Chain A
Amino acid sequence: MLRFAAVFVAALVFAAPASAACSHPRTSLDYLQGQVMCPTCHTTLAMSDSQAAQQIKGFIAKRIAACWTAQQIETALVANYGQGILAAPSHKGFDLLAWWLPIVGVLAGALVLAFGVWRWSRRKEPEEPDEPTDSGLDEETERRLDDLLARFD
């Protein structure tokens, strides 16, 4: 019990100044590991354990401890490694294509699908008969049948 209390107090003593020093919510290593690429293995940091990835993870951890925002850390990494270090392309210039092309593709696909369905449904519609179907009776019999039925009206 005493040991637990000592650990609890120590955690409070060491953790409090660190969190108090940040004026904004602290970003996490887990989040940035999914946003940053390993330059030598071309996967995200989260999926890599290479030496280059370890170095970048260390860099990020230190910056998080120093209260850097995710944006500041990403900017520093881009200045060092170039835009390719980020998993997602930027939202400007030619990189915008990477964001818009999939949307355009999905919309175009939906249009083609809708057009196809519309055409298919039109082809399947049953045709309205232009004339009443033939009863197969001759004119005389039909006339007599009409007279008989007229009696019940």
Chain B
Amino acid sequence: MTHRVKTAAQVIALAGVAGLLALLVWSVVHQQHAPGVGSMAPAFTLRRLDGPGTISLASYRGKPVVLNFWASWCEPCKSEAAVLERDWATYRHHGVVFLGVDYHDLNSDARRFVSAHALTFPMLQDGSGSVTGRYGISQVPETYVLNRQGRVVAHLRGPITDPGFAGQFQTAISKARA
């Protein structure tokens, strides 16, 4: 009887250790990384910030997409907003889609930000950060440029107004349109 209890305890302990190990492997395998250049951009459907309904990334397949992640509490996003709006006004006539994804933000503050900066491209809300997590966003602003097939052409970590990105953003849009 004692031997049986001892064996059962050992089996339970071993199962516990195996379970913890499996959990560790699962978390490592499912760790979220930013999609690299050339890989498919993670699909998503998000609620609109600037109106009712949702927008899904898949609905823009066949068009180049500029995906900008921002937040109203982010200082660099303020200076970037005007440049994005200007570029949107230029590139929209060439079939390029601009999408803004508001990250970990209060919807009311985000709407005020959009209104204050007179942004007219579609805005989406990701309050929970589930989509931004899949894009490996660690700071805002960050911008992805996707080609017509939905593959990543460029990932700019920081405002596109950053002197280092000045040429890169335009080049990435040209590549995405090709």
Which residues of A line the B interface, CB within 8 A? Answer: 39-40, 51-52, 54-56, 59, 80-82, 84, 112, 119
Partner of A39 from B9, B72, B75, B129 at Cβ < 8 Å: B129
Q: Helix, strand, loop or mixed for chain A's interface?
A: helix
A55 touches B105 (CB 8 A): yes
Provide the residues of chain A in CB contact with B75, threshold 8 Å. 51
Please, which residues of chain B bring their CB within 8 A of the CB of A51?
71, 73-75
Inter-subunit contact A39/B106 (CB<8 Å)? no
Question: Are A81 and B74 closer than 8 Å at their CB atoms?
Answer: no
Residue of B9, B73, B127, B130 touching A55 (CB-CB under 8 A):
B73
The 7 nearest A-B residue pairs measured at CB: A82-B128, A39-B104, A51-B73, A55-B73, A81-B127, A80-B127, A52-B104
Contact A40 B104 (CB under 8 A): yes
Contact (Cβ within 8 A) B74 A55: no
Q: In the complex, what distance in Å separates the CA atom of A138 from the CA atom of B9?
A: 54
CA distance A56 to B73 in the complex (A): 10
Question: How many B residues touch the partner, as a band?
Answer: 10 to 19
Q: A40-B104, A51-B74, A52-B105 are in contact. List 20 more A-B contacts (CB 8 A).
A: A39-B104, A39-B129, A51-B71, A51-B75, A52-B71, A52-B73, A52-B104, A55-B72, A55-B105, A56-B106, A80-B106, A80-B127, A81-B104, A81-B127, A81-B128, A82-B129, A82-B130, A84-B128, A84-B129, A119-B2
Measured CA separation A132–B9 after assembly (Å): 41
Q: Are B109 and A55 in contact (CB under 8 A)?
A: yes
Q: How close is A97's CB to chain B, nearest CB, in angstroms?
A: 14
Q: How many interface contacts (CB-CB < 8 Å) are there between A and B?
A: 34
Q: Which residues of B contact A39 (CB under 8 A)?
A: 104, 129
In the complex, what's the smallest C-beta–C-beta distance from B48 to chain A, in angstroms?
A: 15
Q: Give CA–CA (A119, B128) in the complex, Å.
A: 51
What are some 12 contacts across the A-B interface (CB < 8 A)?
A39-B104, A39-B129, A51-B73, A51-B75, A55-B72, A55-B106, A55-B109, A80-B107, A81-B104, A82-B129, A82-B130, A84-B128
Bound CA span A51–B127, Å: 15
Interface string of B67-80 (1 = CB under 8 A from A): 00001111100000
Residues of chain A within 8 A (CB-CB) of B104 are: 39-40, 52, 81
B-side contacts of A54, CB under 8 Å: 73
B109 with A82: CB separation less than 8 A: no
**Hey, which chain A residues are within 8 Å of B130, CB to CB?**
82
Residues from chain B with Cβ under 8 Å of A55 in the complex = 72-73, 105-106, 109
Interface centre among B2, B129, B130, by most chain A C-beta atoms within 10 angstroms, is B129
The smallest C-beta distance from A59 to any residue of chain B, in angstroms, reads 6
Q: Complex: how many Å from CA A40 to CA B70?
A: 13
- In the complex, chain B residues 123-173 whose Cβ is within 8 Å of any chain A Cβ: 127-130
Distance between Cα atoms of A40 and B72 in the complex (Å): 13
Q: How far is the CA of A40 from the CA of B103 in the complex (A)?
A: 9
Cα separation A39 to B74 with both chains bound (whole Å): 14
CB contacts (< 8 Å) of A80 on chain B: these are: 106-107, 127
